[in-house]
Amino acid sequence: MASLHHTPPLCIILNPNADKGRAGRKQKKIEALCKTYGLSYTILLTKKPLDAINLAKQAVLDGYSTIVAAGGDGTVNEVADGVVRGIRERKLSYARSPVVGLIPIGRGNDFAYSAHVPRSIEKAVELISMEMWNATDYGELIGGRYESGRCFLNGVGIGFEPLVNFMASDFKRIHGMASYLAGFIKVMMNYPKAISVKMVLDSSDTIEIETQQLSFCNGRRMGSMFIMGPQASIDDGLIDVVYANRPLKGREIVRLALRFFKGTQLRSAEFSMKRAQSVTITTADNSIVCHADGEEVSRGCDQIEVRLFPGELKFLRNI
């Protein structure tokens, strides 16, 4: 754990559309708390998808040393991606790179869960005011919509779990955990077939399987309630690859879903885990359905590459 040693102006990037439009109502409370803690800040609002990437990158170029995402997993994903882009463009050393923070006011807040960032706005701002950061792993995905790369913090999902996430995102009047449960039921009504994939870990270990679910976990939880990476850690320098090692029937998924709530799927014979710093997944039929930190990457592509950058992001979080 390290300290900023001073109180730099914060750049807070707030997504008013997070939590299906509810996050914008919390701007005044965030500003009041910043004033309470004597924080000098600039607050910027996103207007459309991917705005936070450009705003965060510009904040790095403008010299902000603390850049805070106010939103959900998609917002902190974009802010981290923009910060990394800015660091690379300015060719900043680790010592000079900015710190990233989070006020979790989104729908799932899965990365906040793994990073031990409080869900309470008051406690999240208090954590930011303490100016203590920890080295944190981040990943980069290449494939689908992002042939030039897209950073992620929490994890990447392929197969059944992203389908549930996409369904949950489409609901207009259902929020939070209820939207994921409704998405699960809707996906079960059109149960997906297993896909044939070739998985290469660290350029050496090759696995060929038919599966309906693979998760590349930096953090432990995805989809608001599913512990997809029971043993994952955001500062161990490794991706936990958790996958169904054979095709699963619909009734098996229902039974195993209860294990995902508790993170006990690895105790079953149907799931396996590998650890690596890089993973490449390929198929022959463009059947990869994929998300990164809950954001859509593809509804059908033939290759996804994932690489981890151990400890290369400074993040304001508890340990």
- CATH number where 18 lies: 3.40.50.10330
d(CA 150, CA 141): 5
In a domain, 200, yes or no: yes
Chain segment 124-162, per-residue pLDDT in tens: 999 999 999 999 999 999 999 999 999 999 999 998 877
Whether residue 93 is found in the same domain as residue 151: no
Where a domain ends, among 106, 130, 154? 130
Q: What is the mean pLDDT of residues 159-185?
A: 74
pLDDT for the residue numbered 237: 98
Whether residue 100 is found in the same domain as residue 42: yes
The answer to whether residues 113 and 221 touch, using CB atoms and an 8 Å cutoff, is: yes
Where a domain ends, among 130, 162, 180? 130
- The answer, as to whether pTM is greater than 0.85, is yes
Whether residue 305 is found in the same domain as residue 172: yes
pLDDT exceeds cutoff 70 at 3:
no
274: left (phi over 0), alpha (psi -120 to 50) or beta: beta
CATH at 255: 2.60.200.40
Chain segment 91-132, per-residue pLDDT in tens: 999 999 999 999 999 988 999 999 999 999 999 999 999 999
In a domain, 126, yes or no: yes
Whether residue 120 is found in the same domain as residue 190: no
In a domain, 107, yes or no: yes
Whether residue 124 is found in the same domain as residue 157: no
Lowest mean pLDDT of 177-191, 209-223, 268-282, 304-318, name the range.
177-191
Mean pLDDT of the chain: 92
Confidence of residue 178 (pLDDT cuts 50, 70, 90): confident
Whether residue 50 is found in the same domain as residue 188: no
Whether residue 26 is found in the same domain as residue 174: no
Q: Which domain holds residue 256?
A: 146-310
DSSP string, the chain: -EE-SS-PPEEEEE-TTHHHHTGGGGHHHHHHHHHHTT--EEEEE--STTHHHHHHHHHHHTT-SEEEEEESHHHHHHHHHHHHHHHHHHT--TTTSPEEEEEE-SS--HHHHHHT--SSHHHHHHHHHTTEEEEEEEEEEEETTEEEEEEESSEEEEEHHHHHHHHHHH-SS--HHHHHHHHHHHHHTTPPPPEEEEEEETTTEEEEEEESEEEEESSS-BTTTB-S-TT--TTSS-EEEEEESS---HHHHHHHHHHHHHT-GGGSTTEEEEEESEEEEE-SSS-EEEEETTEEEEEEESEEEEEEEEEEEEEE---
Whether residue 49 is found in the same domain as residue 175: no
Whether residue 109 is found in the same domain as residue 244: no
Q: Which two tokens stand for residue 185?
A: 């039921």
In a domain, 163, yes or no: yes
Q: What is the mean pLDDT of residues 215-241?
A: 94
In a domain, 46, yes or no: yes
Q: Provide the number of structural domains found in the chain.
A: 2
Longest dimension (CA), the chain: 57
Whether residue 150 is found in the same domain as residue 298: yes
Q: What is the mean pLDDT of residues 290-313?
A: 95
Chain segment 18-36, per-residue pLDDT in tens: 987 899 999 999 999 999 9
In a domain, 316, yes or no: no
Where a domain ends, among 98, 130, 162? 130
Whether residue 171 is found in the same domain as residue 291: yes
Whether residue 239 is found in the same domain as residue 301: yes
Which range of 181-190, 231-240, 289-298 scores highest in mean pLDDT? It is 231-240
In a domain, 165, yes or no: yes
In a domain, 317, yes or no: no
